[in-house]
C-alpha cells in the first residue's frame, strides 16, 4: 500500500472513532506520557494542538504549569515554535485550519527545547512515521540543529504498524506513545 493510500485509510479510521473513545484513548496516552522519564525531566516541550481527531494533548498542556510549552505556527513550508500557556493570547486558526499561537507570542530558542512530541498518522516499530504529507516535520527532524532532540511520535495504537513504506528523507523517531504505553525504538 502506498503512503497516500495508507494515510487515507488510517485517517478515515481515526475519524471514525466515537468521541468518548477518542477522549478515553487520548487521556490514557497522556497518562502514559506524563509518567515517562523524558517527559518528567523536560522543562520545555514542543507539542501540537489536536486536529482531525489526533490524540489530544491539551490535558498536559493546560494542566502542567511546571513545563514550558511550545506550539507550532506554519510559516510557508516550515514551522515557527512559539511559547504558549493558558495565560497566552487565545490560539487562532492557521493556514491549514489548525489552531496555532498568535505571531506575537515569543519564539522558543532551540537550545531550550528538551523534548518534541510529534503528531503522527502512523508509525512503525523501527520509529519511522507517516505524517500528513506536507513534510513539515521531515524537514524539521532532518535539520542537524534539531536532530539530537528527543522525539516521541504521538498516535493511537491501531496506527502502530510493523512496517511503513519509506522514502530517503524519512527520519526515525526515538519513541512512540499510544494509549497502550510508550515504546522506545
Give 105-134 pLDDT, tens digit per residue. Answer: 999 999 999 999 999 999 999 999 999 988
Q: Output phi, psi for 97, to 5 deg.
A: 85, 5
Residues 69, 82 contacting (CB under 8 angstroms): no
Q: Determine the Cα–Cα distance for residues 119 and 128; give it in Å rounded to an integer.
A: 12
Q: What is the pLDDT of residues 22-56, one digit of tens each?
A: 999 999 999 999 999 999 999 999 999 999 999 99
Query: What's the pLDDT at 65?
Result: 81
How many Å apart are CA 180 and CA 8, to the nearest integer? 23
Average pLDDT of the segment spanning 3-16: 97
Query: Domains in the chain, ordered, with CATH?
Result: 3-184 (3.40.50.10420)
Distance, CA of 182 to CA of 185 (rounded, Å): 10
Give dist(CA 174, CA 168) in Å, integer: 18
CA dihedral 132, 136, 142, 143 (to 10 degrees): -170
Assign 1 a pLDDT band (cuts: 50, 70, 90). confident
Q: What is the pLDDT of residues 42-91, one digit of tens each?
A: 999 999 999 999 999 999 999 868 899 999 999 998 999 999 999 999 99
pLDDT at 82: 97
Amino acid at each position: 500500500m502506498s503512503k497516500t493510500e495508507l494515510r487515507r485509510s488510517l485517517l478515515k479510521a481515526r475519524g471514525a472513532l466515537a468521541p468518548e473513545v477518542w477522549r478515553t484513548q487520548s487521556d490514557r496516552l497522556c497518562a502514559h506520557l506524563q509518567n515517562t522519564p523524558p517527559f518528567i525531566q523536560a522543562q520545555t516541550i514542543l507539542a501540537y494542538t489536536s486536529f482531525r481527531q489526533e490524540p489530544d494533548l491539551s490535558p498536559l498542556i493546560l494542566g502542567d504549569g511546571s513545563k514550558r510549552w511550545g506550539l507550532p505556527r506554519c510559516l510557508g513550508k516550515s514551522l515557527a515554535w512559539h511559547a504558549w500557556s493558558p495565560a497566552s493570547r487565545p490560539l487562532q486558526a492557521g493556514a491549514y485550519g489548525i489552531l496555532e499561537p498568535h505571531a506575537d507570542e515569543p519564539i522558543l530558542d532551540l537550545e531550550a527545547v528538551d523534548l518534541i512530541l510529534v503528531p503522527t498518522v502512523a508509525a512503525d516499530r523501527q520509529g519511522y512515521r507517516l505524517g500528513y504529507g506536507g513534510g513539515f516535520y521531515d524537514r524539521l527532524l532532518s535539520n542537524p540543529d534539531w536532530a539530537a532532540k528527543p522525539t516521541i511520535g504521538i498516535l493511537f495504537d491501531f496506527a502502530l504498524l510493523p512496517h511503513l513504506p519509506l522514502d530517503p528523507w524519512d527520519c526515525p523517531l526515538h519513541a512512540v506513545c499510544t494509549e497502550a504505553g510508550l515504546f522506545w525504538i
